[in-house]
Homo-oligomer: A and B are copies of this chain.
Amino acid sequence: MERPELPLPQLHAFVVLAEELHFGRAAARLGIAQPPLSQQIRRLEDKVGHALFTREPGRVALTPVGHELLPVARRALSDLADGLAAARAVGSGRTGRLRIGFAASLALTVLPGLLRDFRQRFPEVRLEIREMTTAPQLTALRERTVDIGLLREPEEADRELDFRTVLTEPFVAVLSHGHPLAAGRTVRLADLAEAPFVLLPREAGPGLYDRILALCAGAGFVPDVVQDAVEWQTVCALVETGLGVSLAPASIRRIRLKGVAFRAIEPGAERTRVAVAWRKSDRNPLVAHLLATVSPQSQATR
């Protein structure tokens, strides 16, 4: 890439003069006096090394050289103007691209509303959403391959990342329809002590996994995890077959499966948090816009 030789203001003057073919009018359009325009053109011609206009009395016309340069100059100027406008639009957060990682369990709850609201407010922004479990989201945020994470039970303190709770929800017991505990309206945790458990693997989201184990520990038992599955959808399907029971965030009630019953936990003080995560250092206005869209509604989902 060479050092630029032609100043843009001179090219601008050149283009205007090529349109007017009259120094006086062109100068007026440029908002300057006529002599400076003559100078501009002269300097430009010196740099190009050839005359760009023929000046015969009463007739200003492009030379072949000028004719060659004109479309180039015109295009460069308008490209730069357009590009600048586009860049500013990105800077203002009116347009651009936002990459969002999200936990699969949120695809049925917070995510649709969030996308809808955001798209409504910023229709020109391209949203790239990719399903990932919690741990990969944190990695992706640090590696800058996503800009926003939607995840459960994040570690609180982080040097690079910030979190904000989007919602908290209680846990529910997931039971097969035929299970004896499905008869009541609620379930005490201790009642699940002897039941085999189906859970998401710890690697997928250590935070949530550890929360669930802590819950059980609080009720005096260590769950017997007989199976894991990477999707809540699959967990429910396994529960339906009678393989075991599960503990899950209440929002998975949205998964409607015939043979599966969800029962609130008694007493139910424990809640799981869904958070939005982003890089503290991120100055992308779209991140701020998205954070503004997920107003910190602590409202619970029963």
A-side interface residues toward B, CB under 8 Å? Answer: 1-9, 11-12, 15-16, 30, 48-51, 54, 56, 61, 63-66, 68-69, 71-84, 86-88, 90-91, 96-97, 144, 281, 283-284, 286
Which of B54, B75, B281 is the one whose CB lies under 8 Å from A79? B75
Taking CB atoms, residues of chain B closer than 8 Å to A8 are 4, 6-8
A91 to chain B, nearest CB (A): 3
Q: Is the CB of A54 within 8 A of B281?
A: yes
Which of B1, B51, B71, B73 is the one whose CB lies under 8 Å from A12? B1
Taking CB atoms, residues of chain B closer than 8 Å to A78 are 1
Copies in the complex: 2
Q: Specify the main secondary structure of chain A where it touches its partner.
A: helix
Q: Tell me the bound Cα distance from A64 to B61 in angstroms.
A: 43
Taking CB atoms, residues of chain B closer than 8 Å to A84 are 5-6, 48, 69, 72
Q: Is the CB of B283 within 8 A of A63?
A: yes
Q: Is the CB of B64 within 8 A of A96?
A: yes
Q: Is the CB of B68 within 8 A of A76?
A: no
Q: Tell me the bound Cα distance from A30 to B12 in angstroms.
A: 26
Are A2 and B64 also in contact (CB < 8 A) when A76-B76, A87-B48, A281-B56 are?
Answer: no
